[in-house]
Amino acid sequence: MKQATKNFLGLKKEFSRIEDSDVIVIPFGLEQAVSYGHGTKNGPKAIIDASQEVELFDDEMKKEIYREVKITTIKEIIPKKKIEDALNQLYQVVKDVYEAEKLPIVFGGEHTLTIGSFRAAKEKFSDLTLLQFDAHADLRDSFEGDKYTHGGAMRRSLELGENFNLVQVGIRNISNEPSEGSEFSFLEKNKKRIKTFWAREMKEWKIEEIVSSCDKNVYLTFDVDAFDSGIMPSTGTPEPGGLSWYDALDIIKEVAKKKKIIGIDFVELSPIKNLSAPDFMVAKLIYKIIGYIFETRRK
- For β-strands 63-64 and 57-58, DSSP reports them as antiparallel
Query: Is 223 marked within a binding site?
Result: yes
Helix axes 277-297, 245-258, angle to 10 degrees: 20
Query: Is 146 marked within a binding site?
Result: no
How many contiguous H segments (helices) and E segments (strands) does the chain have? 8, 10
Any idea how long the chain is?
299
Instruction: Catalogue the E-assigned strands of 173-276.
Output: 194-198, 217-223, 260-267
Q: Give the integer Cα–Cα distance in Å for 141 and 153.
A: 9
Query: Is 38 marked within a binding site?
Result: no
Query: Is 247 marked within a binding site?
Result: no
Residue 104: φ, ψ to 5°: -85, 135
Residues contacting residue 170 through CB under 8 Å, at least 6 positions apart: 133, 134, 135, 197, 199, 202, 226, 242, 243
b/e map of 83-111 (b: 16 or more CB within 10 Å)?
Answer: beebbebbbebbbebbeeebbbbbbbbbb
Are 153 and 145 within 8 A, CB to CB? no
ω before 109 within 30° of 0 (cis)?
A: yes
Among 130, 108, 181, residue whose Cα is nearest residue 151: 181
Query: Is 150 marked within a binding site?
Result: no
Query: Is 111 marked within a binding site?
Result: yes
Binding-site residue positions: 111, 134, 136, 138, 223, 225
Binding-site residue positions for Mn(2+): 111, 134, 136, 138, 223, 225
